[in-house]
Amino acid sequence: MANDNLSAVIYGPKDLRMENREIAIPKAGDTDSFATEVQINVRATGICGSDIHYYHAGRIGNRVLDPKNPMVLGHESSGIVSALGEGVKNLRVGDRVAIEPGTYCKKCDRCVEGRYNLCYEMHFSGSLMNGPNHGSLCRYANFPEHLCHSIPETMTYQDGALIEPLAVAVHSVNKTPIKQGSHALVFGAGPIGLLVAATAYAKGAEHVTIFDINEHRLQFATEYLPKIKTVQLPLPESDTPDLLAWSQQTIEKLVTSGVIDRENIDVCFECTGVESCIQMAMFAARRGGVIMLIGLGKGRALLPTEVMSVREVDVRGNFRYAHAYPEAIELVSQGKVPLRGLVTHQYKLEDTLEAFDKVMKGGAGVVKVQIGDF
């Protein structure tokens, strides 16, 4: 086992440095046994769109990286317990775990009612909010014991590191009326869209159609989920004067040609954050249907509020997850959500910069890129 703590540290846009940091001793539990930590030898970490955003732009929204206060990236991780803080009850050295990367205060009204993803004092790995909060793209990281979820021997470290995005999918799908026989549309065939579709099927959805502008992603979707229907969407011209009208017409064409059976579409999952996709999702749902906004984009969109009123189409949002890891792990270990094939590229921790460039370049065949010692 390595005894360095090589870590991927972001200082600013395009300034990601591999540095050796301290291997911290996991904190002992006190009367507040919430804080009892375990030390994890991190073995796999997936790269997420938010990591790329910090790498590319040096900021997310109005949270800007400060080079005097750099941050370790990474929040989609799995590993093996390497040391225990004093008072750890439920884990042992050698246990293989998926890491839930957000420590919450447990006292605010959101925590207390079980929606800890909305905690005002949330410290989320690899995020600047209430931070910088050091993440897990490194060799050793410490996390509270209760946030480290055991994974069975049948799950690889790659699978374990996919539990984080799968938890987003599980949390989202659970907030919609998806059940036996449901029909769903998914906008965006990236890892989140694919996992949302897989979860919808696992929860009984009968018909899922996935949309993307990229035919390679749609081809991959069919290999990953053979039952799924795919539709390649056109891209609006950059000078389209009325984007909302374009979105509406695009959906109407798909409805008239029978590609979308609108009055049976129970839920539209929006996994891109792109304004025209949010608009299309609203035009594609049945009366009384639900739009689930998962993708994070520009932050503002021109929306057909009339659809919300006259058709009572609800718009719900999803932010990360709360208490979704156990269910996500269960769905994978029972074979209800497949993960094979999603990790398309693997890199050693030393080659992190190459991995980031691979994700930034994208292109055919890139779905989920993971870094680690598998």
Q: Which residues bind other proteins (CB under 8 A)?
A: 61, 110, 113, 115, 117-118, 120, 244, 273, 278, 287-288, 293-297, 299-319
Q: Which two tokens stand for residue 297?
A: 């984009």
Q: At what angle do helices 191-202 and 157-174 cross, to 10 degrees?
A: 70
Q: Which is nearer to other proteins, 120 or 348 (CB)?
A: 120
Cα atoms in the Cβ-side hemisphere of radius 13 Å centred on 225: 30
Distances (CA, A) of 11 to 16, 99, 193, 356, 360: 6, 24, 30, 15, 18
Tokens encoding 241: 């004067």
Find the helix or strand (DSSP H, E) in which 72 lies. strand 71-72
Q: Distance between CA 322 and CA 209 in Å, rounded?
A: 27
In what helix (H) or strand (E) does residue 358 lie, and over which residues does it extend?
A: helix 352-361
Query: To the nearest whole angstrom, how small is the minimum distance from the Cβ of residue 347 to other proteins?
Result: 30
Q: How crowded is residue 236: how many other Cβ atoms within 10 Å of its Cβ?
A: 16
- Answer positive or negative: Cα dihedral of 109, 110, 116, 117: negative
Least distance between other proteins and beta carbon 365 (Å): 29
* Element spanning 315, H or E: strand 314-317
Closest separation in Å from C-beta 60 to other proteins: 10
Smallest distance, Å, CB 126 to other proteins? 16
Check: CB of residue 8 under 8 Å from CB of residue 138: yes
- Nearer to other proteins by Cβ, of 125 and 352: the residue is 125
Closest CB 263 distance from other proteins, rounded Å: 8
Our CB check for other proteins shows the closer of 62 and 334 to be 62
CB of 288 to other proteins, least distance (A): 5
Q: Give whichever of 34 and 319 is closer to other proteins, judged by the CB atom.
A: 319
CB of 331 to other proteins, least distance (A): 22
């739009």: which residue's tokens? 291
Q: Decide: helix, strand or coil at residue 232.
A: strand
Strand 207-212 to 183-187 pairing: parallel
Which of 35/118 has CB closer to other proteins? Answer: 118
At residue 60, the 3 state secondary structure works out as strand
Shortest approach of other proteins to residue 112 CB, angstroms? Answer: 12
Instruction: Kindly tell me which of 148 and 173 has the beta carbon lying closer to other proteins.
Output: 173
3-state class of 224 per DSSP?
Answer: helix
| Residue among 104 and 220 whose Cβ is closer to other proteins | 104
Question: Which is nearer to other proteins, 42 or 48 (by Cβ)?
Answer: 48
